[in-house]
Structure 1
Amino acid sequence: MNEIKKPQVRFITIDSEDAGQRIDNFLLKTLKGVPKSMIYRLLRKGEIRVNKKRTKPEYKLVDEDVLRIAPIRVSEKTNEVSTSLNVVANLEGQILYEDEILIVINKPSGMAVHGGSGLSFGVIEALRALRPEARMLELVHRLDRDTSGCLVVAKKRSALRNLHEQLRNKKVQKFYHALVKGRWSPKLTRVTESLKKNDLKSGERVVVVDNINGKESETRYKVIQHYSNATLVRAFPVTGRTHQIRVHCQVKGHPIACDPKYGNEDFDGDMKGIGVKRLFLHAASIEFTHPRTEQKLKIEAPLDKTLAKALKQLTVANNG
């Protein structure tokens, strides 16, 4: 059964963190579980007021605005993310760094960054369940569902804005580790093929190399270790296109191990034989300037035990 929350009047005083936002966007994030249509109806009827006056959805909040929100009767869904779920509880142990404005988590492979497309929840919903006291938790960037590693979440809007600006200005450095097919040449340090997204009739999205109509893309590579039939490489995406590292590896004849979209069946079979059951692409580290202290911050995420164990089973080859 659905429990009914006892409605009550709420007053919220806007601070510098929330100033500058449209009121409808602010309310969508603040009034969790309230449908968008209801928020617009409440604004239209004057049941949500700013400084005792009616307001429109596009109004931009100002520091020290006082919002009065009339009692809202909302049924609390029984399918909310539970902190007792193993996948949610385990996330607590994956937090690599946390302070008053940021969380950096070692995202597990197979977990989407947010719910949707048939998924009841993702990392961000799980974190909100683990940190119910946090007024705001928003993704700073994204990782593919199958990719593991460093994922940054902002607790303050000022931190989100600052980090988005650093991303736009290419001040954030993200380094990935990938196990690829064959012997990657140490001389192959840059891949610059342009990439284009294609949506198939099935609804699946694939990315293809298209140097005429595609978007300019660049990934820089460095060999970490050669093995008898594979290479562990470090990848640094200069641009941030969808599936960029995966397609750039594939186009050079070195698809990533166990890539369901761009992989090599024979190589994947060999890798599954040593325990690799997932895409071997891991966001190993991220570097950026801390928005508040302005100190350089480098966070590293260890490989999960399965991938680390698989590497030990490979035969090391000369890197020369």
Structure 2
Amino acid sequence: MNENNPSVHLITVSTDEAGQRIDNFLRTHLKGVPKSMIYRIVRKGEVRINKKRVRPEYKLQNYDEVRIPPVRRSDDEQAPVSTRLNKVTALNDTVLYEDGCLLILNKPAGTAVHGGSGLSFGVIEGLRALRPDTRFLELVHRLDRDTSGVLLVAKKRSALRALHEQLRAEEMQKDYLALVRSQWQSHVKTVVTPLLKNNLASGERIMRVNSEGKPSETRFKVEERFTLATLVRASPVTGRTHQIRVHAQYAGHPIAFDDRYGDSAFDRQLKGCGLNRLFLHAAKLRFDHPGSGETLRIEAPLDAPLRQCLLYLRAHCK
């Protein structure tokens, strides 16, 4: 197997995806591929988990590395990503750091990290289209589509493994900025609640606090106060889907303009700030470089809408 084949995808199983069968996982990632073909490539050993063959009923574990081979989709498959699309070419302007091992972006809000679920492309597909000579590009972690900020991409398989090990050991520090409703109470420094994934009939995925869910922990610190909102720093210890958003809601302080877990009345109060997107931004990332061992601290500046919102609050809501 040629792991450097750009058509081969290596996907690391997130903590939220763990527990599902490999065949169901592949159906999510291989849109348009018949179920019979998915079973065929698993049985033939073309799909590998941690370099090993598995059965279709294999249940994924945290941080399993799934090798997905190139597969021919149905006739209605999306055309290859065009480098002439504005959103694709704009990715070149979001690079915060790059060397032979890593590529780090300030991901724009509204752009998914990967295609699927009706999306023609995501950040990783756009990067592969822009850099056809780069033989290996894989996401180290993920951000929600509406969340902006630091996104880490590996350019070497060895780098991907080393960074995943840091994630497993909880040695990678992630700090987000979020604008939340009302006055965050300073004594609430940590939210620890189990989260359970719920799939609605519409296909939408919603996370709920539930005793049967997976352990989840987020640390919070007040950064700035306004009369009707608080800017907080949120540092997730675990990596569940929508974790910060649900934990903020659970604490009684939903994030501004969160269309799943937010408060429309709070959003209306912020109408004058001109914001119309989720105020959640991956502001800082600290980790050890997989090659040199040097500690890297990467910061992603807020985009114009978030900066403008804060300027408005400082002028009108102090």
TM-score bin, normalised by smaller chain: 0.7 to 0.9
- 2:165 is matched by which residue type in structure 1? E
Q: Which residue of 1 aligns with 2:230?
A: 231
When normalised by structure 1's length, the TM-score is: 0.77
Deviations 1:111-160 (A, max 9, x none): 11001111110000001111111001000001111111000000100000
The structure-2 alpha-carbon separation of the partners of 1:209 and 1:30, relative to structure 1 and needing over 3 Å to count, comes to closer
Does the CA contact (< 8 Å) of 1:186 and 1:222 recur in 2? yes
Does the CA contact (< 8 Å) of 1:108 and 1:149 recur in 2? yes
Q: Which residue of 2 aligns with 1:95?
A: 95
Q: CA deviation at 1:273?
A: 3.0
Does the CA contact (< 8 Å) of 2:78 and 2:120 recur in 1? no
Q: Which residue of 2 aligns with 1:79?
A: 79
Determine the C-alpha separation between the residues in 2 that align with 1:241 and 1:79: 32
Q: Secondary structure at the match of 2:97?
A: strand
1:113-152 alignment runs, 5 A limit: 113-152=113-152
Q: Secondary structure at the match of 2:193?
A: coil
- 1:96 is matched by which residue type in structure 2? L
When normalised by structure 2's length, the TM-score is: 0.77
Question: Among residues 29, 36, 40, which one is paired with 2:7 in the alignment?
Answer: 29
Does the CA contact (< 8 Å) of 1:237 and 1:244 recur in 2? yes
- 1:116 is matched by which residue type in structure 2? G
Deviations 1:220-277 (A, max 9, x none): 0000000110000000001111111001100111000000000001111222431111
* Greater gyration radius: 1
When the two chains are superposed, the root-mean-square deviation of aligned CA atoms in Å is 3.0
1:1-320 alignment runs, 5 A limit: 23=1, 29=7, 57=46, 79-210=79-210, 212-315=211-314
Deviations 1:4-48 (A, max 9, x none): xxxxxxxxxxxxxxxxxxx286657359xxx996xx89xx9xxxx
Q: Secondary structure at the match of 1:177?
A: strand
Does the CA contact (< 8 Å) of 2:186 and 2:222 recur in 1? yes
Q: Which runs of 5+ in 2 are unaligned?
A: 10-32, 53-74
Determine the C-alpha separation between the residues in 2 that align with 1:298 and 1:28: 29
Determine the C-alpha separation between the residues in 2 that align with 1:78 and 1:222: 43
The structure-2 alpha-carbon separation of the partners of 1:115 and 1:214, relative to structure 1 and needing over 3 Å to count, comes to same
Identity of aligned residues (%): 55
Q: Which runs of 5+ in 1 are unaligned?
A: 1-22, 45-55, 62-74
Q: CA deviation at 1:318?
A: 11
Determine the C-alpha separation between the residues in 2 that align with 1:30 and 1:206: 30
- 2:110 is matched by which residue type in structure 1? G
Determine the C-alpha separation between the residues in 2 that align with 1:150 and 1:101: 16
Q: CA deviation at 1:166?
A: 0.6
Deviations 1:153-184 (A, max 9, x none): 00100000000011000011110000000001
- 2:7 is matched by which residue type in structure 1? K
Determine the C-alpha separation between the residues in 1 that align with 2:274 and 2:310: 10
The structure-2 alpha-carbon separation of the partners of 1:103 and 1:261, relative to structure 1 and needing over 3 Å to count, comes to same
How many residues in Structure 1 have an aligned counterpart in Structure 2? 268
Determine the C-alpha separation between the residues in 1 that align with 2:315 and 2:244: 24
Comparing 223-232 with 195-204, which one deviates more in the overlay? Answer: 195-204
Q: Secondary structure at the match of 2:270?
A: helix
Determine the C-alpha separation between the residues in 2 that align with 1:206 and 1:157: 32
Does the CA contact (< 8 Å) of 2:192 and 2:218 recur in 1? yes
- 2:101 is matched by which residue type in structure 1? I
Find runs of 4+ consecutive structure 1 residues off by over 4 angstroms. Answer: 24-28, 56-61, 316-319
